[in-house]
A and B are shown apart, each in its own frame.
Chain A
């Protein structure tokens, strides 16, 4: 699988992302925010975490209007795989590729800790190697992860099964306290209607090594490689 990682000024998780993808067997290409086109033969575009453009205006707002984002939107429209993590999720929402928005954490605090996520469905290119309902441990690090959308948008996401991951407690229950950032309906990650685009606040790329807090994030990248090979 060929994955392209987009770097904006202020992106800072791109190397972690490259490490996770490489460990899963993907080939990584670096993409620059000013590029107008994606390299040929790219299976996956990744928007990694960080603080693009210093979070000026709104998190991800400036990056969403960068030249490369039109190419990313075209890639998504033709069914290409897209993964946006943390700031990348914010950028996907600001670009209108995914619905909703990410507001300041309800506590107003920057949250840097592990969180527990429940895998809501496994018939997606991102989650094929997880078990349905599996609870995974993943680090999170964000100031603006409070997912919001209109009630009808939330109902549509639920109705179409487009919630990919939810914040849960130790028992795997999506109780309100588990969504420490205040995210509506405990939403940590959502999918596009064709399930080829995933936006996710926590960092699976930082959970790929037993020496640094576990490997629960690795199956996401292995699933992607498997899905890309299968198509």
Chain B
């Protein structure tokens, strides 16, 4: 079973990387781009076959290691 953990900078936390991407998009001539935020996606292959349990396990992993709650929020999706 695959779990996808999306980790994003918490709202309110300065995201200089997102800002730099936004500036680069503007210099390429893309108009109308508002705020840009950059995070990361971590894909986990889990032995667990029960989607509920797999999600709970991935959330525990995100809380303990994958995301830092001081600066980041996370979301877990289970994909078959």
Residues in A lying within 8 Å of B, measured CB to CB: 57-58, 61, 65, 93-94, 99-101, 103-108, 146, 148-150, 182
Contact = CB atoms under 8 A, between A and B. Distances in A.
A135 B15 CA distance: 31
A202 B29 CA distance: 39
A107 B65 contact: no
Contact of A104 (B17, B64, B66): B17
Contacts of A99: 70
Contact of B68 (A101, A108, A150, A182): A101
Contacts of B68: 58, 61, 94, 101
A149 B70 contact: yes
B contact residues, range: 10 to 19
A101 B16 contact: no
Interface string B8-34: 000001101100100000000000000
B71 interface: yes
Interface string B44-80: 0000000000000000000011101011000000000
B68 to A, nearest CB: 6
Given A93-B70, A182-B14, 16 more contacts: A57-B66, A58-B68, A65-B64, A65-B65, A101-B70, A101-B71, A103-B13, A103-B14, A103-B71, A104-B16, A108-B20, A146-B14, A148-B13, A148-B70, A148-B71, A149-B70
